[in-house]
Amino acid sequence: MEGYNDVRLIIGDHETLSKLKYIVTGFYGLGLCGYLTSRYLCEVAEELGSLKRIGIVWSTNLPPVVEVNNNGTFNYPVELCQISEKAGVLLFRYQVPSSLHVSIADKITDLAKKHDITLILAGGIDIKVFSPDERENVDIVYTGNSFFKAKLESGAFKWDINRSPPGVVVSGGIAIFLMFAEMKGVPAVSLLAPTYAQAGYIDNLASLRLARRIIEIFDFGLDPSPLDARIQVELARLIEMKAKREPRQRREERFEAETEEFGIT
């Protein structure tokens, strides 16, 4: 599309790109689930020796920072990486200006259209949109465009994911990608992990679980066992935190009851 010239998509390995069937990406939204999910996928691929940078997103408006990697070189702010033979991740290592999201979505959906790639958009959804009875066991939900719906109806995937509750507002980078994909005929689906809409809240567990489900649902051919190990560590950490927090909560509740009895406000 015309008018989006402030971003360049620089591909260094066209042969690898031509084999990809999926590109996952995510943004810095609720619980940081989108960013963390895409990062965890890349970290697992690196641990398994299958991570490969095949391109970068370039703009003079990107944050002027790079991340030092394990090899002593550096990573760009936004990279397109291969994580398995048929899956890639567009990883936003840093939060880019929202003004660039339109340009990036334009370039990536053009790429996806050319190579017949399905876009998987990871993110979080406020757990409060579900009824109190549902919240304890609620799973990830999805919303897709009409082209992804057509793939579902054709039986392309073994699908057991519930639709997102109606009326939920999807915003930011995910919404922009969904709209561009719809305009260009690219299958795109957003998978949303229930999390908490609290400022500064980082939901590692929801992100780890979402990364694992994506590997499983779309059959990436990537061993999820490193994610399983991280999930167990995160669960143990949360259980420990809860055990430490409960005595304090009981003390606070006891103090509140005592102060109410003596009329202290």
CATH code, residues 8-223: 3.40.50.10900
Cα 71–Cα 73–Cα 77 angle in degrees, nearest 5? 120
pTM of the shown model: 0.89
DSSP H helical ranges for 90-171: 101-115, 132-135, 146-153
Q: Which amino acid is it at 112?
A: A
| Phi-psi sector, 124: left (phi>0), alpha (psi -120 to 50), beta | beta
- In this predicted model, what pLDDT tens digit does every residue of 122-134 receive, in sequence order? 999 999 999 999 9
**pLDDT computed for residue 158 by the predictor:** 87
- In this predicted model, what pLDDT tens digit does every residue of 140-189 receive, in sequence order? 999 999 999 999 999 988 899 999 999 888 999 999 999 999 999 999 99
Largest CA distance in the chain: 76
| Spatial distance between the Cα atoms of 163 and 191, rounded to a whole number of angstroms | 9
Tokens 């030092």, located at residue: 68
What does each of the 265 residues of the chain score in pLDDT, given as a tens digit?
444 558 999 999 999 999 999 999 999 999 999 999 999 999 999 999 999 999 999 999 998 999 998 888 999 999 999 999 999 999 999 999 988 999 999 999 999 999 999 999 999 999 999 999 999 889 999 999 999 999 999 998 889 999 999 988 899 999 999 999 999 999 999 999 999 999 899 999 999 999 999 999 999 999 999 999 999 999 999 999 888 876 665 555 554 555 444 444 3
Q: Which amino acid is it at 116?
A: D
